[in-house]
Amino acid sequence: MNESKRTELSEIGEFGLIDRLKEFLPAKSDKIVKSIGDDAAVIKTEENGIQFISTDLLMEGVHFDLAYTPLKHLGYKSVAVNVSDIAAMNGTPSHIVVGIALSNRFSVEAIEELYTGMKLACDAYSIDLVGGDTTSSRSGLGISVTVVGEGREEEVAYRSGAQINDLICVTGDLGAAFMGLQVLEREKQVYLANPEMQPELVGKDYIVQRQLRPEARIDVIKSLKSLGLKPNAMIDISDGLASELLHICKESKVGAYIYEDKLPIDPMTFDTAREFELDPLTIMLNGGEDYELLFTIAQADYDKVRNHPDISVIGYIKSADEGVNIYTKGDHLVPVTAQGWNHFKA
């Protein structure tokens, strides 16, 4: 690393920083199948056995606002977002360790509430919480979760596995978590202006829940296994569909076409976007925090997903020179660009 020159984080952004760290930290052990650069690291265990490891850090004021985030939901979410990265590798999560940074603003009961949420998530995903670390904090609550999972070498789905002519699939629906956040932020402003006002969340339950208490799609991973379907490439949608599709295309050295009218959106997300005078397409592409799965499959596997209630086929993979594009409803062909959540970029 160059010590004499100062480069601003904003110049290279979060992904630029990660690329530099990846160059700087080549893997030493030949047991490491995949180091920095996918949803989780992939490490060989016994013959064809794989261990996954991944970590996600949630910081108060950056990732959550305690003005409208119940601690129980926050505990659940901090586990779910980690489990999601193991799902994204087509793996099975097994256990987590949890680090928390606390100020004396929190009572023992409040911390127990946080852990009640974590326990609920551990039960939902059949994993165990087996340790962690506790420290004091002077700048808000921090929650660091590390998840370990297991799998078989031949079943791992990397970001880099997409093949030309693959179908692009997405689970669930898109943009709900982002619109839930907009509603929560609006109600917070209303409350700050007039603390007598009660938050108006009626009719917004689904999108608010998607923001506060997302699920990792382990159910879909199990379903794919029972269908005998192994995705060629996979990633979870934490930053937004556009950003994640670009990751798959970059790592797989391919291009893609997706269709606006194939993108799954819940009516509540659509209506709320309109209410906020936002374009539902922008929300689906760049919303983020949905924790759905984006994956590609061989065309021959189409019959296995065509009637699946949780899977939408949204487009197909082409060669890199065609770029990454979306056909909008007006049949315009537009390049997909990432405007998702990239720390450090303006």
Binding site residues, ligand ADP, CB under 6 A = 18, 21, 36-39, 56, 85, 238
Q: Which is nearer to ligand ADP, 182 or 238 (CB)?
A: 238
Please report how close the Cβ of residue 174 comes to ligand ADP at its closest, in angstroms.
16
Q: Which is nearer to ligand ADP, 238 or 312 (CB)?
A: 238
Applying CB under 5 A, among 38, 85, 260, 289 the residue interacting with Mg ion is 85
Q: Distance between CA atoms of 204 and 267, rounded to whole angstroms?
A: 11
Q: Which is nearer to Mg ion, 85 or 173 (CB)?
A: 85
Applying CB under 5 A, among 60, 166, 187, 236 the residue interacting with Mg ion is 236
Q: Distance between CA atoms of 87 and 93, rounded to whole angstroms?
A: 8
Please report how close the Cβ of residue 105 comes to ligand ADP at its closest, in angstroms.
27
Stretch of 35-43, 75-83, 93-101, 156-164 contacting Mg ion, by CB under 5 A: 35-43
Applying CB under 5 A, among 15, 34, 39, 63 the residue interacting with Mg ion is 39
Q: Which is nearer to ligand ADP, 237 or 268 (CB)?
A: 237
Binding site partner of 173, from ligand ADP, Mg ion, none, Cβ cut-off 5-8 A by kind: none
- Taking CA atoms, 343 is separated from 13, 24, 40, 339, 340, in Å, by 7, 20, 19, 11, 9
Q: Which two tokens stand for residue 93?
A: 């999560």
Q: Which is nearer to ligand ADP, 38 or 166 (CB)?
A: 38
Q: Which is nearer to ligand ADP, 150 or 271 (CB)?
A: 150
Establish if 292 lies at the interface with Mg ion (CB under 5 A): no
Please report how close the Cβ of residue 116 comes to Mg ion at its closest, in angstroms.
26
Q: Which is nearer to ligand ADP, 27 or 278 (CB)?
A: 27
Please report how close the Cβ of residue 50 comes to Mg ion at its closest, in angstroms.
17
Please report how close the Cβ of residue 111 comes to ligand ADP at its closest, in angstroms.
25
Please report how close the Cβ of residue 289 comes to ligand ADP at its closest, in angstroms.
11
Q: Distance between CA atoms of 81 and 321, rounded to whole angstroms?
A: 33
Binding site partner of 37, from Mg ion, ligand ADP, none, Cβ cut-off 5-8 A by kind: ligand ADP
Closest residue to Mg ion, Cβ-based? 39
Q: Distance between CA atoms of 245 and 317, rounded to whole angstroms?
A: 10
Please report how close the Cβ of residue 32 comes to ligand ADP at its closest, in angstroms.
12
Cα-Cα-Cα-Cα torsion 245, 246, 252, 258, nearest 10 degrees, comes to 50
Q: Which is nearer to ligand ADP, 260 or 289 (CB)?
A: 289
Please report how close the Cβ of residue 21 comes to ligand ADP at its closest, in angstroms.
5
Q: Which residues bind Mg ion (CB under 5 A)?
A: 39, 85, 236
